[in-house]
C-alpha cells in the first residue's frame, strides 16, 4: 500500500494533506525517515511512526449508530444532513457508508462500515437477514392482521412480501393506536410502511431494533455511535 494512502486511512488527512507531514520529515517507516508518499508499506509488517508515535492501521471500520430522525442514510445529500456527517472527520476519511437505508423519519440501529463484502451479504435477498422494528400504528392492529402478515402481505403495487412476524405489544382504544414489533426478512423500499398501508393502516413511528445478529445498544443516545465489540464482530463472521 502507498504510504500516503496508509496515512489517509489512519486519519492524517487526504493524500494531498499528508504530503506536508512527509515533507516535514515527521513520518518514519521503521527507523527510516519517509521521503515520498509513493513509498510502499506493508501494514501487517511495517511500523509507521508519525511525530514519533506508532500508527495503528485498521483496514475496515464497523460502527453501530443509533440513527435519529431527520438525518439521511446516505454518504452525500444536497439538502439534509447525512449519517456520515455525524462521524468524526478521521472516520469519514476511510470511506464509510450505511449498510442499507433507514428512512429520514425512522430511528434505530444502523451499521456503518467500509467493508463492501459484509454490506453486500447483509443486504443480499438470498441471505434473508432478519430486521426487527418497533412501531406505533394509527389504528387497532388485530389478530386477523397478524395472520395476514404471517401469510405474506401483498403490497399495493402487487409485490408479494415474504411472511413476517407481527407482535402486538399494546393497543390503546382511546387513542386508536397500536404498539407493535415486526420482523421482516427482506428490505424493500419503505417496506414496513407499505405493508401497513396494504391493510389500510399507517405507521406513525418506526424504530429498527436489530439487523441479523446485531441488536441496538439502547445505551446509545440518538445520534450517538460506537465501534462494534469483538463479540458483535464475531456474530458477523458468517457474512464476511
Do 115 and 221 lie in a common domain? yes
Give the total number of structural domains in the chain: 3
Calpha distance 141→167 (Å, rounded): 9
- The yes-or-no verdict on residue 90 having pLDDT over 90 is no
- The yes-or-no verdict on residue 193 having pLDDT over 90 is yes
Contact assessment for residue 42 and residue 48, using Cβ atoms and an 8 Å cutoff: no
Q: Give the C-alpha distances (Å, rounded to integers) separating 170 from 60, 134, 153, 199.
A: 41, 12, 22, 18
User: Which residues are registered as beta bridge partners of 33?
Assistant: 28
115 has catalytic annotation: no
Calpha distance 124→118 (Å, rounded): 10
Do 169 and 205 lie in a common domain? yes
Do 48 and 89 lie in a common domain? no
Question: Whole-model pTM?
Answer: 0.83
Do 116 and 221 lie in a common domain? yes
Do 156 and 229 lie in a common domain? no
Range of the domain at 192: 130-211
Give me the CATH number covering residue 224: 3.30.70.580
Mean pLDDT of 10-24: 82
pLDDT classification of 139: cutoffs 50, 70, 90: very high
Do 135 and 200 lie in a common domain? yes
Contact assessment for residue 1 and residue 41, using Cβ atoms and an 8 Å cutoff: yes
Give me the CATH number covering residue 202: 3.30.70.1560
Bigger pLDDT: 14 vs 49:
49
Do 78 and 10 lie in a common domain? no
pLDDT in tens, 199-230: 999 999 999 999 999 999 999 999 999 999 99
Do 139 and 179 lie in a common domain? yes
Q: Where among 36, 54, 72 does a domain terminate?
A: 54
pLDDT in tens, 23-66: 999 999 999 999 999 999 998 889 999 999 998 887 899 999 99
Do 202 and 223 lie in a common domain? no
Calpha distance 18→226 (Å, rounded): 27
Do 152 and 204 lie in a common domain? yes
Do 218 and 183 lie in a common domain? no
pLDDT in tens, 99-122: 999 999 999 999 999 999 999 999
Give me the CATH number covering residue 19: 3.10.290.10
Do 46 and 153 lie in a common domain? no
Percent of the chain having pLDDT more than 90? 80
Q: Kindly tell me the burial class for residue 18, based on how many C-beta atoms sit within 10 Å of its own C-beta (0-12, 13-18, 19 or more).
A: buried
Q: Which of 103, 130, 173, 217 is labelled catalytic?
A: 103
Amino acid at each position: 500500500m502507498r504510504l500516503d494512502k496508509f496515512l489517509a486511512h489512519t486519519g492524517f488527512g487526504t493524500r494531498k494533506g499528508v504530503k506536508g507531514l512527509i515533507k516535514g520529515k515527521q513520518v518514519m517507516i521503521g527507523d527510516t525517515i519517509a521521503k515520498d508518499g509513493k513509498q510502499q508499506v506493508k501494514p501487517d509488517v511495517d511500523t509507521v511512526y508519525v511525530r514519533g508515535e506508532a500508527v495503528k492501521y485498521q483496514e475496515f471500520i464497523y460502527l453501530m449508530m443509533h440513527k435519529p430522525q431527520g438525518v439521511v442514510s446516505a454518504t452525500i445529500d444536497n439538502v439534509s444532513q447525512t449519517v456520515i456527517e455525524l462521524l468524526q472527520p478521521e472516520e469519514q476519511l476511510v470511506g464509510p457508508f450505511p449498510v442499507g437505508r433507514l428512512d429520514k423519519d425512522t430511528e434505530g440501529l444502523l451499521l456503518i462500515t467500509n467493508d463492501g463484502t459484509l454490506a453486500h451479504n447483509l443486504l443480499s435477498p438470498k441471505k434473508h437477514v432478519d430486521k426487527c422494528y418497533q412501531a406505533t400504528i394509527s389504528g387497532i392492529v388485530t389478530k386477523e392482521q397478524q395472520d395476514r402478515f404471517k401469510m405474506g402481505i401483498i403490497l399495493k403495487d402487487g409485490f408479494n412480501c415474504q411472511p413476517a412476524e407481527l407482535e402486538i405489544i399494546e393497543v390503546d382504544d382511546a387513542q386508536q393506536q397500536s404498539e407493535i414489533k415486526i420482523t421482516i426478512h427482506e428490505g424493500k423500499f419503505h417496506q414496513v410502511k407499505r405493508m401497513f398501508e396494504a391493510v389500510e393502516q399507517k405507521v406513525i413511528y418506526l424504530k429498527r431494533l436489530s439487523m441479523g445478529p446485531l441488536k441496538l445498544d439502547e445505551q446509545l443516545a440518538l445520534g450517538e455511535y460506537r465501534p462494534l465489540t469483538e463479540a458483535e464482530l464475531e456474530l458477523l463472521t458468517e457474512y464476511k
